[in-house]
A and B are shown apart, each in its own frame.
Chain A
């Protein structure tokens, strides 16, 4: 049966190819019995029909929109385009794989002057309704009409005029016209130059198409028992097993994401709406068990009622990746072998990077403070002349490049330096972008006069706290054996690994660096007949796979765990980038 619309009502789980990745995740949440704002999808086949009919919405698609809206109205008790309780929508693209060029989400669709009046009366807050109207005009003007309205501000009327001036097209008053145009814009975005170029580059089939998800907006700013937030089932920074989250009372989702307002810790929700908080944590446990990993959940509370907007596997810091993999295995969510596969060699290298320990930091003198621009810590002689910084670095000295501002001329000094400090500029300056590109610890915006004050001294730059300390403080590495999670992960990785990885302890080995074997393709010939080998090429999955394939049994390295993980990943066929 060919469907022109699919209701996300929990009765079935359509395929990602049919409804797109985001809608699939919503459908899965519905199936798990979790509260999701009602939604329906125009599946990818409508995208094909749109292209085939000369880029117009076929009559069946219009009918499908009416049927879908009827469902949303029934579910929410709201009316599209009219009061007393108006229904507003989000309209988003949903391809089976994400790609640049696809239309962004239009929020608050269905808004006009009449609806604004009704919403203002319902919320007893005309200002809020007017603000929502203005957001809609900006969102529609920017996304559907493709106008440059990033810096636009004003009343809805002014914004409408601005959008018309900028794009030569009008934001329609009629909610149905808005909806049809937004849906058509999603389908058109599948054919955008950028999306096509990306598909061509990445070998993604043109025949996939995109779906459109139409969802009822949950109102996080309707009253004091409303709000919005994000929630992690475990702490994504430290890996601690406690939930971590932020809550913005009387806020809409985009305000949390954009950082327009500062949210409160999640325990604020626990104090204010304990049942909602408990329900949220329970939903988190369900999602974590279903996804078998830590989840990142966006939610909105509307008049004391919880809605989940999105759930996905949580991104995490390197430290948390190690902690969480071990904790999930301990909790029985995943096996020890799976835990090994959840941590990358690069993440462990991040954890093992030398850093400033709290006891060393405690006694140190802060001589400058700025904005942290690139994490990491390094010490050296503060040098303000870029050529001198390069010369000293070439002689093997540790140098911190200190500059008032940085131009492209200074990039060679930033490459040579162990760390960078600047007087002016924030964490989004050219200097900050360059330092992050290089992975150089950096503190920027230390204030006028700091270059003169620092240069000539030994200093230590802490790119995490934004502090600069007097003297070259000791940087220490966490010993794998002193850290319980690292130690246990090492044992599990050893059990799973196709090779033995040992620290240099007298085992005789082939030194691949000395042989200048730096490419995985050259490894097999170099290790032929050898039992053990050592070399930087064996840091990468491809290098290890080549060595194992050639019969190598032992790899010698200072830090066994990253190599073990790379070897396990290579064996699992995942293959990781060098």
Chain B
């Protein structure tokens, strides 16, 4: 059971802070036309602001959304398998962040300096470990998607980011301005925290 379209669009906006129709469609795994129509309704209802094709939730929209999580995801929150998979995700999250740190910075004489990506063997090893981590994340996300089917969209986006990274597009590992592996993962993490009503540790 998931939220209705109007809440889901608000949720997508909240996870990303703001976004275009296409971005919100990606995050929530919904059809773009539906998202566009729902955003227009949100504007009419005073729950969404839109300017230059970028949308944001209003305080009223945010407040209705925050109140809706507990009721919508009450059963999900009570589900043992879902919670166990989310716990496991937290531990994989720590490994991912450590791995991305190794991708971004390397130790030189005891000091960390930015990785200039001049060592293909070093980068290949990290991409390999990222692939390993991705494969271990798949069953976890399948379990989560068993309760919240839209989580399958994250799996596709993570796989797409990994594929781009493997193809030599370095920015798709941890770049900020593209749908990199970390960008998608960070959104997934935020999504999960909201669904479970948990707070961020860091």
Residues of chain A whose beta carbon lies under 8 Å from any beta carbon of chain B? 21, 97-102, 104, 148, 150, 194, 197-198, 201-202, 232, 235-238, 244, 246, 315-318, 320, 344, 346-347, 372, 375, 386, 405, 407-412, 414-415, 422, 424-434, 436-439
Find the residue from B17, B119, B168 having the highest chain A CB count within 10 A: B17
How many angstroms from the CA of A427 to the CA of B100 in the assembled complex?
A: 11
How many angstroms from the CA of A412 to the CA of B119 in the assembled complex?
A: 31
Residue contact A428 to B167, C-beta cutoff 8 Å: no
Write out, one digit per residue, whether chain B residues 128-151 have a CB within 8 A of any chain A CB (1) or not (0): 100100001000000000000000
Residue contact B97 to A436, C-beta cutoff 8 Å: no
Q: List 20 additional contacts besides A238-B109, A405-B201, A437-B104; criterion CB under 8 Å.
A: A21-B121, A236-B108, A237-B109, A317-B111, A317-B113, A318-B113, A347-B116, A375-B113, A386-B17, A407-B186, A408-B186, A409-B15, A425-B201, A426-B202, A427-B101, A428-B101, A429-B97, A432-B97, A433-B104, A437-B176
Q: List 9 A-B contacts (CB under 8 A).
A: A97-B120, A100-B125, A101-B131, A232-B109, A407-B186, A415-B176, A427-B101, A436-B114, A437-B180
- Closest chain-A Cβ to B107's Cβ sits at a distance in Å of 9
Nearest-CB residue, chain B, relative to A200: B167
Q: Which of A98, A428, A438 contacts B97 (CB 8 A)?
A: A428
How many angstroms from the CA of A47 to the CA of B109 in the assembled complex?
A: 38
Residue contact A428 to B98, C-beta cutoff 8 Å: yes
Residue contact B131 to A237, C-beta cutoff 8 Å: no
Nearest-CB residue, chain A, relative to B193: A407
- Closest chain-B Cβ to A137's Cβ sits at a distance in Å of 19
CB neighbours of B176 from chain A (8 A): 411, 414-415, 434, 437-438
Residue contact B109 to A236, C-beta cutoff 8 Å: yes
CB neighbours of A98 from chain B (8 A): 120-121, 124-125
Residue contact A408 to B15, C-beta cutoff 8 Å: yes
- Closest chain-A Cβ to B43's Cβ sits at a distance in Å of 19
CB neighbours of A344 from chain B (8 A): 116
- Closest chain-B Cβ to A464's Cβ sits at a distance in Å of 8
- Closest chain-B Cβ to A143's Cβ sits at a distance in Å of 11
How many angstroms from the CA of A433 to the CA of B101 in the assembled complex?
A: 6
Q: Which of A315, A412, A424 contacts B201 (CB 8 A)?
A: A424
Nearest-CB residue, chain B, relative to A423: B202
Residue contact A436 to B174, C-beta cutoff 8 Å: yes
Q: Which of B17, B95, B128, B189 contacts A430 (CB 8 A)?
A: B189
Tell me, yes or no, whether B52 is within 8 Å of chain A by CB: no
Residue contact B202 to A429, C-beta cutoff 8 Å: yes
Q: Which of B17, B120, B124 contacts A408 (CB 8 A)?
A: B17
A-B contact count (CB 8 A): 137
Nearest-CB residue, chain B, relative to A347: B116
- Closest chain-B Cβ to A351's Cβ sits at a distance in Å of 12
Nearest-CB residue, chain A, relative to B104: A436
Question: Given contacts A316-B108, A409-B17, are A432 and B101 in contact (CB under 8 A)?
Answer: yes
CB neighbours of A320 from chain B (8 A): 108
Give the size category of B's interface with A: 35 or more
Residues of chain B whose beta carbon lies under 8 Å from any beta carbon of chain A? 14-18, 94-95, 97-98, 100-101, 104-106, 108-114, 116, 118-121, 124-125, 127-128, 131, 136, 163, 166-168, 174-177, 180, 182-183, 186-187, 189-190, 200-202
Question: Given contacts A315-B108, A316-B108, A431-B202, are A408 and B16 in contact (CB under 8 A)?
Answer: yes
Q: Which of A235, A408, A425, A427 contacts B109 (CB 8 A)?
A: A235
Residue contact B16 to A409, C-beta cutoff 8 Å: yes
Residue contact A100 to B105, C-beta cutoff 8 Å: no
CB neighbours of B16 from chain A (8 A): 408-409
- Closest chain-A Cβ to B39's Cβ sits at a distance in Å of 18
Find the residue from B101, B108, B163, B180 having the highest chain A CB count within 10 A: B108
CB neighbours of A414 from chain B (8 A): 176
Residue contact B111 to A237, C-beta cutoff 8 Å: yes
Residue contact A408 to B190, C-beta cutoff 8 Å: yes
- Closest chain-A Cβ to B102's Cβ sits at a distance in Å of 9
How many angstroms from the CA of A246 to the CA of B176 in the assembled complex?
A: 35
- The list of the 10 closest CB pairs from A to B, nearest first, reads A425-B202, A100-B128, A201-B167, A409-B17, A237-B109, A98-B121, A100-B127, A436-B104, A437-B176, A428-B97
How many angstroms from the CA of A102 to the CA of B131 in the assembled complex?
A: 12
How many angstroms from the CA of A316 to the CA of B95 in the assembled complex?
A: 26
How many angstroms from the CA of A505 to the CA of B185 in the assembled complex?
A: 50
- Closest chain-B Cβ to A451's Cβ sits at a distance in Å of 14
CB neighbours of B202 from chain A (8 A): 405, 422, 424-426, 429-431
